[in-house]
Amino acid sequence: MSTPFRIPDHALLRAKLTRIRRRETDSVTFRRILAEIGAILTSEALRDLGEVEAGIETPVGPMRAPVLSAPEPCLVAILRAGLGLLEGARIVLPEAPVGHLGLVRDEHTLQPTEYVVRLPRDLADRGALVLDPMLATGGSAIQAIHRVKQSGATSVRFACVVAAPEGVAAFRAVHPDVPITAAALDERLNERGYIVPGLGDAGDRCFGTE
What are the backbone dihedrals phi and psi of residue 208, each rounded to the nearest 5 degrees, phi first? 70, 30
What are the backbone dihedrals phi and psi of residue 120, each rounded to the nearest 5 degrees, phi first? -65, 155
Q: Which of 3, 105, 125, 172 is catalytic?
A: 105
**Taking the complex as a whole, how short is the minimal distance between the CB of residue 35 and ligand URA, in angstroms?**
17
Q: Which does 167 bind (CB under 5 to 8 A by kind): ligand PRP, ligand URA, none?
A: ligand PRP
Contact 152, 180 (CB under 8 A): no
Our finding on whether 84 is near ligand PRP (CB under 6 A) is no
Task: Closer to ligand URA by CB, 92 or 145: give it.
Answer: 145
Would residue 26 show up in a list of annotated catalytic residues for this protein?
no
Would residue 80 show up in a list of annotated catalytic residues for this protein?
no
CA atoms of 36 and 42, how far apart (whole Å): 10
Contact 119, 76 (CB under 8 A): yes
Q: Which does 127 bind (CB under 5 to 8 A by kind): ligand URA, ligand PRP, none?
A: none
What are the backbone dihedrals phi and psi of residue 207, each rounded to the nearest 5 degrees, phi first? -110, 10
Indicate which single residue of 10, 19, 32, 105 sits in contact with ligand PRP (rule: CB under 6 A). 105
Q: Which does 195 bind (CB under 5 to 8 A by kind): ligand PRP, ligand URA, none?
A: ligand URA
**Taking the complex as a whole, how short is the minimal distance between the CB of residue 201 and ligand URA, in angstroms?**
4
The Cβ of residue 122 has, within 10 Å, a number of other Cβ atoms equal to: 13
Name residues contacting ligand URA, limited to 68-107 (CB under 6 A): none
The string over 36-51, giving b where at least 16 C-beta atoms fall within 10 Å of a residue's C-beta and e elsewhere, is bbbbbbbbbbbeeeee
Task: Closer to ligand PRP by CB, 40 or 144: give it.
Answer: 144
3-state secondary structure 90-131: HHHCCCCCEEEEEEEECCCCCCEEEEEEECCCCHHHHCEEEE
Our finding on whether 131 is near ligand PRP (CB under 6 A) is no
Q: Which does 84 bind (CB under 5 to 8 A by kind): ligand URA, ligand PRP, none?
A: none
**Taking the complex as a whole, how short is the minimal distance between the CB of residue 179 and ligand URA, in angstroms?**
21
CA atoms of 82 and 70, how far apart (whole Å): 25
Where on the chain is the footprint of ligand PRP (CB under 6 A)?
78-81, 103-105, 110, 112, 132-141, 167, 193, 201-203
**Residues taking part in catalysis:** 105, 109, 201, 204
